[in-house]
Amino acid sequence: MNCDNNEELFPVVDTAGNVVGKASRGECHGGSMLLHPVVHLHVFNSRGELYLQKRPAWKDIQPGRWDTAVGGHVDYGETIREALRREVCEELGITEFTPGQVAVYPFRSEREYELVHVYRTVYDGTVRPSEELDGGRFWSRDEIFENLGKGIFTPNFEGEVKLLFG
């Protein structure tokens, strides 16, 4: 069984994304509401379908739900682009892609406060989900919209759907 490393260090940022300190994963996810950056990559294929990952049951946030293809924390000392490339490689085995920035927004849940850097790409190569995930697959736009609000997707993903599909 995998588990998250609560001692992993994240940068703490202001709302403009400037690093103002550092804190552990445990502190950031423990209700402290320390703002910390994360990266999301939405992977579309050339048919317009969107790849979603299934979060494993052992995750400390939103276990078992379908989520953004790639989502991960920025490590302390790492740039947003470095974190994006690392997470995409780790989670999906993709090393060659062209990210386009979609948005940057703050997201607050009952346990944490994130500054989310959202990117998208079109990719038709092989996707190899890592052992960090419970797999994944491409979803059509209609299939996504039919399942919104049913507890299948993470709240964060549901909030980003309008950024992706208008």
Task: Give the count of domains, the chain.
Answer: 1
Tell me which residue range forms the domain holding 142: 9-165
Report in angstroms the alpha-carbon separations of 53 from 7, 13, 56.
25, 27, 9
Residue 27, domain member (yes or no): yes
Residue 3, domain member (yes or no): no
Domain with residue 123: its CATH number is 3.90.79.10
Q: Does the pLDDT value for residue 12 go beyond 90?
A: yes
Please give the distance of CA 93 from its chain centroid, rounded to a whole number.
Answer: 15
Neighbours of 3 (CB within 10 A): 8
Residue 4, domain member (yes or no): no
Please give the distance of CA 68 from its chain centroid, rounded to a whole number.
Answer: 5
- d(CA 49, CA 78) in angstroms, rounded, equals 31
Residue 1, domain member (yes or no): no
pTM exceeds 0.95, yes or no:
no
Q: Residue 113: CB partners within 8 Å, gap ≥ 6? A: 33, 34, 35, 36, 106, 107
Q: Looking at per-residue confidence, does 76 or 29 come out higher?
A: 76
Q: What is the pLDDT of residues 95-142, one digit of tens each?
A: 999 999 999 999 998 888 999 999 999 999 999 998 878 899 999 999
